[in-house]
């Protein structure tokens, strides 16, 4: 579909706030998954190394994304859009928000995040197509397959493989003033 013909809901993307959002997010998970997360799972994923964002249409939450903060990457733990609101670029807008937090200027002495990792169920064709199409549409960066984790998911006693992928933006090593460092210059 061309960019002009795309159906798009312009959602408001805000940080997950457990007091305001927990009940709606749990309800979406119950609607979507056979083994949904419960309140405790969401609270655990709103802790030190995790962050959540939600997509709101008015007061209604129509999607959420949880991710883990790695040293140099974000890891998508889960992204869900409510059935009935799909194919409206809502998941795309949430990941776009994550991409906006990446930095292509990599300072050597402290961590900046230059990529996004994720894994998908081998049978989740929709999720696979979504991630491929979304990341391919980005002006910079590449989504690459990294590994297969055999039997990683054990949903309802059925083993499923996980396909791991990584999106990376081109990086530049810079000094304190943001000037590019020529890393072999001092050897010449």
Ligand X SMILES: CC(C)(COP(=O)(O)OP(=O)(O)OC[C@H]1O[C@@H](n2cnc3c(N)ncnc32)[C@H](O)[C@@H]1OP(=O)(O)O)[C@@H](O)C(=O)NCCC(=O)NCCS
92 binds ligand X (CB under 6 A): yes
Q: For ligand X, which residue of 56, 68, 86, 113 counts as binding (CB under 6 A)?
A: 86
Sheet with 50-57, side-by-side order of all strands: 12-15, 50-57, 60-69, 73-81, 115-121, 158-168, 142-155
- Shortest reach from residue 124's CB to ligand X, in Å: 5
11 binds ligand X (CB under 6 A): no
66 binds ligand X (CB under 6 A): no
Nearer Cβ to ligand X (78/171): 78
Q: Are 89 and 99 in contact (CB under 8 A)?
A: no
28 binds ligand X (CB under 6 A): no
**Summary count for the chain: helices (H), strands (E):** 4, 9
Query: What Å distances lie between residue 131 and 13, 35, 76, 147, 165, CA to CA?
Result: 19, 22, 11, 16, 9
Nearer Cβ to ligand X (113/132): 132
Q: For ligand X, which residue of 24, 89, 104, 138 counts as binding (CB under 6 A)?
A: 89
Query: Of the ranges 18-26, 67-75, 90-98, 102-110, which one interacts with ligand X (CB under 6 A)?
Result: 90-98
Using alpha carbons only, how large is the chain's radius of gyration in Å?
18
Query: Of the ranges 15-23, 45-53, 82-90, 141-149, which one interacts with ligand X (CB under 6 A)?
Result: 82-90
Nearer Cβ to ligand X (108/133): 133
User: Strands, E, within 31-141: which ranges?
Assistant: 50-57, 60-69, 73-81, 105-107, 115-121
- Shortest reach from residue 184's CB to ligand X, in Å: 40
87 binds ligand X (CB under 6 A): yes
Task: Kindly state the tokens that stand for 84.
Answer: 């009935």
Task: Kindly state the tokens that stand for 164.
Answer: 């791991």
- Which residues make up the interface to ligand X (CB under 6 A)? 1, 6, 32, 78-81, 86-92, 120, 124, 126-127, 129-130, 133-134
């Amino acid at each position: 579909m061309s960019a002009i013909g795309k159906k798009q809901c312009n959602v408001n993307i805000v940080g997950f706030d457990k007091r305001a959002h927990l009940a709606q997010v749990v309800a979406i998970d119950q609607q979507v998954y056979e083994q949904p997360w419960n309140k405790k799972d969401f609270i655990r994923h709103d802790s030190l190394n995790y962050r959540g964002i939600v997509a709101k249409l008015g007061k209604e939450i129509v999607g959420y994304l949880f991710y883990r903060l790695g040293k140099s990457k974000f890891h998508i733990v889960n992204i869900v859009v409510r059935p009935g609101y799909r194919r409206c670029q809502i998941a795309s807008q949430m990941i776009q928000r994550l991409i906006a937090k990446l930095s292509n200027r990599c300072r050597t002495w402290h961590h900046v995040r230059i990529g996004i990792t994720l894994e998908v169920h081998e049978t989740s064709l929709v999720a696979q197509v979504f991630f491929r199409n979304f990341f391919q549409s980005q002006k910079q960066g590449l989504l690459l397959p990294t590994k297969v984790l055999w039997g990683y998911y054990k949903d309802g006693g059925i083993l499923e493989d996980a396909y791991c992928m990584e999106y990376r933006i081109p990086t530049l090593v810079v000094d304190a003033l943001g000037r590019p460092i020529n890393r072999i210059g001092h050897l010449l």
